[in-house]
Amino acid sequence: MNSNEIRKSFLDFFDSKKHLIVSSAPMVVKNDPTLMFTNAGMNQFKDIFLGNTPAKQRRIANTQKCLRVSGKHNDLEEVGHDTYHHTMFEMLGNWSFGDYFKKEAIDWGWEYLTQILELPKDRLYATYFEGSKEEGLEADSEALGLWKSHLAERQIIPGSRKDNFWEMGETGPCGPCSEIHIDLRSVEEREKVDGRELVNTGNPLVIEIWNLVFMQFNRKASGELEPLPEKHVDTGMGFERLCMAMQGKTSNYDTDLFQPMIAYISTASGKIYGQDVKADIAMRVISDHIRAIAFAITDGQTPSNNGAGYVIRRILRRAVRYGYTFLGFKEPFLYQLVDILATQFGEIFPEIVIEKKMVAKIIREEESSFLRTLSTGISRFEKYASEHPAIEGQFAFELYDTYGFPIDLTRLLAQEIGKEVDMEGFNFCLDEQKNRSRAATKMDTGDWVELDSSDKSVYVGYDRVECLTRVIKYRKVSSKGEEWHQIVLSETPFYAESGGQVGDTGFLEKEGNRIEILDTKKENNLIIHFAKEIPEDLSGTYLARIKGARRDAIASNHSATHLMHAALRSVLGSHVAQKGSLVNDEHLRFDFTHYAKMTDEEIKAVENIVNTKIAQAISLEERREVPMEQAQKEGAVALFGEKYGDTVRIISFDREYSTELCGGIHVENTSRIRLFKIISEGAIANGIRRITAVTGVGALHFLEESHARLQEVKELLNNPNDVVKYVQELDEENKALKKEVEQLS
Ligand code: ALA
């Protein structure tokens, strides 16, 4: 079976077991401060496990794009050096939300592997949780018993907390798990050493393919395990490994998932895969990393200097560097592979096809700039080496930090001229930097103090700006030396930051006492209100009220963003796609794809269209809970990298003119925006432009200020009748005088 057939067989199988097949969530995580990237299929369902959101369907299956390059699950250093770890990989998963549990999970897993895929039973092993005294948890005898009906006892192995108790991160949903491993060694090897001995020992051919997690607990910040309201199943199967097993290969890179890429790299570099250890590693690194980079960009994370963007930049640089050093790629190369990805994955992840031009452009740009740094760094190295007997740790660190040189590259360069790198010094500098950044990003999150555990939090802010409410729970968090209190309310009019729109601010009031809410954010679908000061007793009924004038300014900027988006598409063309957006009470900022600087005429045309729409006083049409299918049929503008549910909210200002999927706050009528003015337009990356604009009072202030500046200039020039003409003459006179002075001197 080829990889597409294998993937399909998994989804078809769980479809036949009454699972709803959903698409992969974006790889870039937005609403969870504990995660940068999706690291497991279950991330998008975390709020269901925690009981924050009810499950709409109790059985779900999919393939999920995952990235394990930061945080608790990080495989980056292994990638390329071994044959079965990846940065980005697909995780096939089936879920039960409070529906079936261990029996069905195990029986169906077995049925799929042995009856549908017909993998040989004697090569399969299952592990189960042996229990933990420390945690006060018993061995999972239920899983053991269930496996006994499928496997001989020698194929069932107890496992420790490390291997058989799965946790998403430091906190969050977790539970005992049961893994399925496969032995892919030759018959002779298997006769020599029993596969049982090699399970979970790091053997590349006796590997885990599927993890069945029985979600039962929430790990709290205190380390305590708290039982979840319901029991769930979360499974994850490594798709690339499954393909290796099914296609009779001994490396993931030998499957049809990677071979087209490796063949292309091989032709381009003139090196044959399988002949030179280092070139092979480089080919594996590139064919792996290009997937992570391209899909991260497609899902909205461009390479940048900090946070998640920096992780992507580091992966890209790692690929460039391996190509440069071991395959001789001195010119941008990676971007050429995007086409192959689009052909291979277009069916299951259509976003890569639609975005491929933009993705390739961004990658190419990054490559060029890093290749320049790389050659500057190499010159720096050569100069330094000619003046010093050895390479000091501090200098190696500078190369690493400023030029993105991994230490093995510096060592390689040193080795070539017979010099040593002071590794102790380098590691010291590296540790120091790690400690610094750890201290800068450290966040201590206290456990929730629950006042009312039975209650759910309801958002009423689309219809109201105030409401009566109660505090459900609160906790203390501290980061970067600041302390905050986070509060969850039973009902709230506060909009939580999302879709580019900032969070609301306002007050909670009870009997003359006031708690000031300084920000509102979402975490796993919970709306969290941020306060500096809270009273000791938070019980009782509060009036929650948002700052109305600020909210009106935000709504005005948000609606103007929609009007401008449509205007940009009509003035510049339908290739304009939103790439980023920020809406606050002062301005709106909008990033979009377009390949040239906008001319003054184009800017004016966009302003005119938007101001005409404002003058036409078009009423807001807001539709909630529209089935996604219908929204698509209507051609509502959706964004890649956004996770949408089965039903969506649609915002239109004249359906023919502007219709977008949006969860934000808008004016009731475009006339409320009053005035729209673009104040800047520029490039932020190759092919991506940024517009900043103002509306309403903000636009008036801008015009007033511009006018005042002009007045000042006029006064400085003694109020000429035509100031422009006057300045032109002044400029010409100045040039003539300069020339004369030059001649004279
Ligand atoms: N969530 C489990 C894992 O990632 C299935 O292994």
CA distance 48 to 513: 35
E strand spans, 200-344: 206-219, 225-238
Distance in Å, CA 234 to ligand 1 centroid: 7
Interval 130-150 mean pLDDT? 95
Residue 210 reports pLDDT greater than 90: yes
Question: Is 233 touching ligand 1 by the criterion CB < 6 Å?
Answer: no
For residue 212, which atom of ligand 1 is closest to its CA?
A: 5
Question: Is 520 touching ligand 1 by the criterion CB < 6 Å?
Answer: no
Q: What is the pLDDT of residue 497?
A: 94
For residue 235, which atom of ligand 1 is closest to its CA?
A: 5
Rg (CA), the chain: 30
Question: Is 172 touching ligand 1 by the criterion CB < 6 Å?
Answer: no
Portion of the chain with pLDDT greater than 90, in percent: 73
CA 332 centroid distance within chain: 25
For residue 213, which atom of ligand 1 is closest to its CA?
A: 5
38, 66, 91: residue to mutate for ligand 1 pocket, most atoms within 8 A of CB: 91
Distance in Å, CA 119 to ligand 1 centroid: 21
Nearest protein Cα to ligand 1, atom 3? 236
Question: Is 66 touching ligand 1 by the criterion CB < 6 Å?
Answer: no
CA distance 465 to 448: 26
Question: Is 147 touching ligand 1 by the criterion CB < 6 Å?
Answer: no
Residue 171 reports pLDDT greater than 90: no
Residue 460 reports pLDDT greater than 90: yes
166, 174, 178, 232: residue to mutate for ligand 1 pocket, most atoms within 8 A of CB: 166
Each residue of 342-390: pLDDT tens digit?
999 999 999 999 889 889 999 998 999 889 888 888 888 999 999 999 9
Interval 127-137 mean pLDDT? 95
94, 177, 237: residue to mutate for ligand 1 pocket, most atoms within 8 A of CB: 177
**Amino acid at the residue 614:** I
Name the one residue in this structure whose structure tokens are 């290739």.
Answer: 575
CA distance 28 to 39: 10
**Amino acid at the residue 62:** N
- Give CA separation, 295 vs 103, 237, 534, 578, in Å: 35, 20, 43, 17
Question: Is 235 touching ligand 1 by the criterion CB < 6 Å?
Answer: yes
Q: What is the pLDDT of residue 523?
A: 84
- Give CA separation, 624 vs 44, 54, 231, 463, 669, in Å: 22, 18, 31, 12, 18
Q: What is the pLDDT of residue 52?
A: 82
Question: Is 631 touching ligand 1 by the criterion CB < 6 Å?
Answer: no
Name the one residue in this structure whose structure tokens are 């925006």.
Answer: 673
Work out the mean pLDDT of the chain and round it to a whole number.
92
Each residue of 59-102: pLDDT tens digit?
999 999 999 887 667 778 788 989 999 999 999 999 999 999 99
Each residue of 626-684: pLDDT tens digit?
988 888 888 887 775 666 677 889 999 999 999 999 999 999 999 999 999 999 999 88
Q: What is the pLDDT of residue 481?
A: 77
Report if pTM > 0.85: no
Q: What is the pLDDT of residue 637?
A: 77
235, 237, 241: residue to mutate for ligand 1 pocket, most atoms within 8 A of CB: 235
Give one DSSP letter per residue of 544-564, joined into a string.
EEE-HHHHHHHHHHHHHHHHH
CA distance 21 to 41: 13
Question: Is 164 touching ligand 1 by the criterion CB < 6 Å?
Answer: no
Which one has a higher pLDDT value, 415 or 679? 679
Sign of the torsion angle spanned by Cα atoms 409, 413, 418, 422: negative
Each residue of 580-609: pLDDT tens digit?
899 999 999 999 989 889 999 999 999 999
Cβ neighbour number for residue 172 with a 10 Å cutoff: 21
Q: What is the pLDDT of residue 222?
A: 87
Residue 544 reports pLDDT greater than 70: yes
Check if the beta carbon of residue 105 is closer than 8 Å to that of residue 233. yes
Cite the DSSP H helix spans in 129-248. 141-148, 161-164, 187-192, 239-246
**Amino acid at the residue 207:** I
Which residues fall within 8 angstroms of residue 38, CB to CB, at 6 or more apart?
25, 26, 27, 28, 29, 44, 64, 65, 66, 67
**Which of 401-415, 422-436, 713-727 has the weakest average pLDDT?**
401-415
Q: Which two tokens stand for residue 420?
A: 């040593």
Question: Is 64 touching ligand 1 by the criterion CB < 6 Å?
Answer: no
Residue 454 reports pLDDT greater than 70: no
Q: Which two tokens stand for residue 26?
A: 């974006």
Q: What is the pLDDT of residue 643?
A: 65
Question: Is 3 touching ligand 1 by the criterion CB < 6 Å?
Answer: no
CA distance 82 to 191: 24
Q: What is the pLDDT of residue 664?
A: 94
Nearest protein Cα to ligand 1, atom 4? 40
Q: What is the pLDDT of residue 694?
A: 98
